[in-house]
Structure 1
Amino acid sequence: MDLSADPNAQLKQAHAGGFKKVCRVEEDSACPFPGLPAGVLEMRVKEGSKIRNLMGFAMARMQDEARDGAQTGLRQVVFSGSGRAVTKTITCAEIMKRKIAGLHQMTKLQYKGLREVWESQEGGDSEMTIHRTLPSISILLSKDPLDPLEPGYQPPDERNGGETAEKRSIDSSDSLMEPQAKRVCL
């Protein structure tokens, strides 16, 4: 089947021409953080992943050290996602930075190859392969200092301090006392 080299045009024609997707393969890419020690937790975030499940697992692994008092917890975690999962990946990293104080961050952006195979629903032997590139993000969070001169480095947020609602002082501006009245203009 002769189609233009534009993957978006191919995808539109596949949808309109009675094709259905039968296979989707993401190409593996090299880790953008060379020199990571073995055993670093890698959380692969997908479009359908539930943030509650991802964070429950990652937080438990990162906080084991604090509970045990021994060095059993992880010191680093990598969140990675591509395509529509990029925003969910960023959300996971930001939640972890709020809940665990003093995390250093390294962010890397890249592209990931994707191959989709579509076949005709009309019973013919017609098949179409589409190659696309998707934006991808990898975020390394570390309890240990990272190289501040490396592009994509963010130091720990000293304002946040990892405080949660239970740790806030009662006289903070966002206390749970009486809510402020809101003015509504119609």
Structure 2
Amino acid sequence: MEHQSSSLSSGDQFASCPPQPERSARRRIGRSEERAPFPIPGLAADVLHMRVKEGSKIRNLLRFAAARMQGEGQDGSAAAVRQVVFTGLGRGITKTITCVEILKRKVAGLHQVSKLCYMTVNEVWESAPQEAATTTVERTVPAICILLSKDPLDPQELGYQPPQTFSVPTEEEERRRDLRRTAE
């Protein structure tokens, strides 16, 4: 899914993953992302923005986001936020979706709008020390932005999902289900 275009003079191209053993003379020394506006219209001014990266710890992200949505801050006096946006790109997309799904179970009644887009990432690679040359590679990677809101959102918006109701089965329902399985 990744598109590569580069400004390499020798025609060499290398993937976004770490260099292969035969290319160990190159190492990434910098990375920058093109800051694009959020693809979700009508965001509140006090929206909490959570950037999820490939190495982010889910428990840390969720602890912070859930505390802010429930009005619990570091000093105990923070006001609850009404909306949170989770953004992830590349390999961080799956972790972003996982965070959103867990938070929807922790904080009931959240409306959701999901948007997919592409972002441009510029990477600067350094060659072997004797060459002292740098190479810039521009890649276009997929990204996802997911808005969770306590307030109702426009149901006509593409990517909208209404709040879900999660029911936890009671012990009696579990017992009946087990009896039906054994009867079959």
- Band the TM-score falls in, shorter-chain normalisation: 0.7 to 0.9
Structure 2 residue 94 is matched with structure 1 residue 93: no
CA-to-aligned-CA distance 1:147-172 (integer Å, 9 cap, x gap): 111100011113x16x6xxxx63334
Residue 131 of structure 1 pairs with residue 138 of structure 2: yes
Q: Secondary structure at the match of 2:158?
A: coil
Instruction: State the match for 1:68 in structure 2.
Output: none
Asked if the contact 2:44/2:83 (under 8 Å) is kept, the reply is: no
In the superposition, relative to structure 1, how do residues 139 and 3 fare at CA in structure 2: closer, same or farther (>3 Å)?
Answer: farther
The residue type paired with residue 66 of structure 2 is M
The 3-state SS of whatever aligns with 1:101 is coil
- C-alpha separation between the residues in 2 aligned to 1:172 and 1:53? 34
Pairwise mapping of residues 27-176 of structure 1 onto structure 2 (< 5 A)? 27-64=34-71, 72-158=79-165, 160=166, 169-173=170-174
Equivalence for 2:14:
11
| TM-score, normalised by the number of residues in structure 2 | 0.79
Aligned length: 162
Structure 1: state its 5+ residue gaps.
66-70, 175-179, 181-186
| TM-score normalised according to structure 1 size | 0.78
Cα contact 2:29–2:126 (8 A) shared by 1 = yes
| Percent identity for Structure 1 against Structure 2 | 52
| Per-residue deviation, 1:11 | 1.5
Distance 2:173 2:131 in 1: 68
- Secondary structure of the residue aligned to 1:112 is strand
Q: Equivalents in 1 of 2:173, 2:66: separation in Å?
A: 26
Alpha-carbon deviation of 1:37? 1.5
Measured at CA, do residues 172 and 72 of structure 1 come closer, stay the same or move farther in structure 2, by a change above 3 Å?
A: farther
4+ long deviations beyond 3 Å: none
